[in-house]
Amino acid sequence: MWEVTEVLPGASWTWVQRSPGGSTLARHDVVAGDSSTLVRQRLEQRGPVGALVGRLMHGMTKRYLELEAQGLKKRSEQRRLDGPAS
User: pLDDT for 15-28, tens place per residue?
Assistant: 998 988 888 899 99
Does residue 16 lie in a domain region? yes
> How sure is the predictor about 83, in pLDDT bands with cuts at 50, 70 and 90?
low
> How sure is the predictor about 29, in pLDDT bands with cuts at 50, 70 and 90?
very high
Does residue 86 lie in a domain region? no
CB 24 within 8 A of CB 50: yes
Host domain of residue 11: 3-81
40 pLDDT more than 80:
yes
Number of domains composing the chain: 1
Does residue 35 lie in a domain region? yes
